[in-house]
C-alpha cells in the first residue's frame, strides 16, 4: 500500500485533533516522565502530549515515513520512531501509552491490549480513541461497492465492542473507563466526505486499483453517498462520526 498523505490527513486537522484532545483531558496523570504516542501520524496528537507534559520524554511511533517526516519537522524536541505497533517494545516502563485513531488498524485486540498494559508502570495509563464507524454508511458503502465490482474485502475489522474491551482491560489488571461520542461534521458536498475518508478508511480499498478502476469505484461510491446522506436546508451534509474512548489505569 502507498504511504499515507499527511497533507490530505491534516486537511481536516481540527476535526481529527478534537477527539485527541478530549481523550487526553480524561487521562488521570498529574506527572509523566515517559510517554508514547502510538500511531502518532503527523504529530498533531503528539503536540498535545508535549504541551501537557513539557518535561517528559515524548516518543511518537508510526510506520509511515511520510507522517513521521511531518511530525519531526513540527516537533523537533520530541523523539520519533518508525515501527509497527504490533512489534513495538519500549526501552523502559511507561507512564502513558496514548493511541489516538490508530489501534483500529491493528488486528487481535485480545492479545494487543494486555501486551500494551504490560508496558506500563504501575498506575500507568493506556488511553485509546478509535473510530467506531464500521456500520456507518461511509464504511458500509465501501464494502458494498467493492462487492459490486468484484474486489476482495480490504477493510479493517469491526471493533470487538465495549463489553469485550472492558473484560480485556479489567482482566489485564486495569481500572477501566469507557465512553462513546458521535461527532457530526458539517460537510460542503459528498465529494468532501470522500476526501475525508480517502485519507484514512478508504485507503485500503483503493490501494490495489489502477487509475481507471479507482475512478470507476469512486463514481459509484459517490452515487451511493448521495443516496445515504441528504442535504440540510442550507445545503450542508451532516457526517456522523462515532468514536470509542478508553482510559485504563494499571492497578498495583
Q: Per DSSP, which regions of 28-72 are E strands?
A: 34-38, 57-62
Model pLDDT, residue 11 = 52
pLDDT of residue 4: 47
Strands lying side by side in the sheet with 34-38: 79-82, 57-62, 34-38, 94-100, 120-131, 237-250, 174-187
Grid coordinates of 33: 516522565
Q: What is the pLDDT along the chain (252 residues), one digit of tens a residue?
A: 454 455 555 555 677 789 999 999 999 999 999 999 999 998 999 999 999 999 999 999 999 899 899 999 999 999 999 999 999 999 999 999 999 999 999 999 999 999 999 999 999 999 999 999 999 999 999 999 999 999 999 888 899 999 999 999 999 999 999 999 999 999 999 999 999 998 888 989 998 899 999 999 999 999 999 999 999 999 999 999 999 999 999 998
Phi, psi of 40 (to 5 degrees): -75, -15
φ and ψ at 20, to 5 degrees?
-60, -40
Q: Of 96, 178, 82, 59, which Cα lies nearest the Cα of 130?
A: 178
Res 112: pLDDT: 97
Which residues are within 8 A (CB) of 67 and not within 5 positions of it... i.e. 6 or more apart? 3, 4, 6, 9, 40, 41, 42, 43
Q: What is the model's pLDDT at position 3?
A: 47
**Predicted local confidence at residue 241, as pLDDT:** 95
At residue 240, the pLDDT reads 96
Tell me what pLDDT residue 252 has. Answer: 87
Amino acid at each position: 500500500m502507498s504511504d499515507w498523505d499527511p497533507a490530505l490527513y491534516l486537511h481536516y486537522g481540527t476535526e481529527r485533533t478534537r477527539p485527541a484532545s478530549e481523550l487526553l483531558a480524561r487521562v488521570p496523570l498529574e506527572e509523566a516522565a515517559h510517554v508514547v504516542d502510538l500511531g502518532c501520524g503527523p504529530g498533531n496528537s503528539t503536540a498535545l502530549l508535549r504541551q501537557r507534559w513539557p518535561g517528559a520524554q515524548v516518543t511518537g511511533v508510526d510506520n509511515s515515513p511520510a507522517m513521521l517526516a511531518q511530525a519531526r519537522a513540527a516537533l523537533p524536541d520530541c523523539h520519533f520512531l518508525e515501527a509497527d505497533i504490533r512489534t513495538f517494545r519500549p526501552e523502559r516502563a511507561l507512564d502513558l501509552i496514548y493511541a489516538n485513531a490508530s489501534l483500529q488498524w491493528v488486528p487481535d485486540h485480545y492479545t494487543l491490549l494486555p501486551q500494551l498494559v504490560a508496558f506500563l508502570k504501575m498506575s500507568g495509563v493506556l488511553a485509546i480513541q478509535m473510530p467506531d464507524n464500521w456500520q456507518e454508511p461511509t464504511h458500509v458503502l465501501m464494502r458494498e461497492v467493492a462487492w459490486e465490482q468484484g474486489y476482495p474485502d480490504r477493510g479493517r475489522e469491526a471493533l470487538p465492542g465495549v463489553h469485550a474491551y472492558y473484560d480485556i482491560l479489567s482482566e489485564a489488571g486495569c481500572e477501566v473507563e469507557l465512553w462513546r461520542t458521535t461527532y457530526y461534521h458539517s460537510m460542503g458536498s459528498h465529494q468532501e466526505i470522500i476526501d475525508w475518508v480517502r485519507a484514512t478508511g478508504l485507503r485500503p480499498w483503493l490501494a490495489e486499483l489502477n487509475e481507471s478502476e479507482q475512478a470507476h469505484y469512486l463514481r459509484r461510491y459517490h452515487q451511493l453517498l448521495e443516496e445515504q446522506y441528504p442535504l440540510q436546508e442550507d445545503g450542508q451534509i451532516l457526517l456522523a462520526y462515532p468514536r470509542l474512548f478508553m482510559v485504563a489505569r494499571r492497578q498495583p
